[in-house]
């Protein structure tokens, strides 16, 4: 069974503190290595409205290809979108055999890398790309789409034994 943390570091900090306290008190330790399977989707949330309901933003979005703001069209409709991983945090234990299954939902392709594990691959819309490796060291390792850097960055969190 996989665990996901979405947009919050507090649960991870709390989990680490509980594990440290349990070990210090002679309590349960981390389970033996396991096989972890997670599916991650490349998605593009979008939103839009018309200038009569909301003014078009005047502040630029961050650079890097992960965000898009379309100016109002002839009818006054404008849109904003971003690319992201869903989920954007994956939690495993050191020693686990990890399988990440990436599915391309939006965007023609996403050249992707997982830092610290020397893994690079391309995710294409309508295709599943499966990556399997051993989580052989603890730490936080980013998985990044090279085209949509800024918004399309996730974390593989490997907890120490």
d(CA 59, CA 106): 25
Kindly tell me the burial class for residue 145, based on how many C-beta atoms sit within 10 Å of its own C-beta (0-12, 13-18, 19 or more). buried
* Positions of the chain with pLDDT under 50: 1-10, 18, 21, 27-28
3-state DSSP call for residue 151?
coil
Q: What's the pLDDT at 64?
A: 84
Backbone angles phi, psi at 66, to 5 degrees: -90, -10
d(CA 51, CA 57): 10
Q: What's the pLDDT at 71?
A: 96
Residue ranges of E strands in 6-95:
35-43, 46-50, 67-70, 77-82, 84-86, 89-93
Q: What's the pLDDT at 20?
A: 53
Q: Which domains does the chain have, with CATH numbers?
A: 3-43+84-159 (2.60.40.420), 46-55+63-82 (no CATH)
3-state DSSP call for residue 143?
strand
Cis peptide upstream of residue 87 (ω within 30 degrees of 0):
yes
Q: What's the pLDDT at 69?
A: 94
Q: What's the pLDDT at 23?
A: 53
């Amino acid at each position: 069974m996989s665990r996901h943390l979405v947009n919050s570091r507090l649960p991870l900090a709390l989990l680490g503190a509980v594990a440290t306290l349990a070990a210090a008190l002679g309590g349960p330790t981390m389970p033996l290595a396991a096989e972890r399977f997670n599916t991650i989707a490349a998605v593009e949330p979008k939103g839009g409205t018309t200038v009569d309901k909301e003014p078009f933003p005047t502040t630029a979005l961050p650079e890097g290809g992960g965000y898009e703001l379309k100016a109002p069209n002839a009818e006054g409709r404008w849109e904003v979108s971003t690319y992201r991983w869903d989920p954007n945090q994956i939690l495993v234990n050191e020693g686990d055999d990890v399988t990440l299954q990436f599915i391309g939902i939006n965007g023609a392709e996403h050249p992707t890398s997982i830092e610290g594990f020397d893994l690079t691959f391309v995710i294409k819309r309508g295709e599943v790309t499966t990556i399997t490796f051993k989580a052989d060291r603890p730490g936080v390792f980013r998985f990044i789409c090279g085209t949509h850097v800024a918004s399309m960055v996730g974390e593989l969190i490997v907890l120490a034994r």
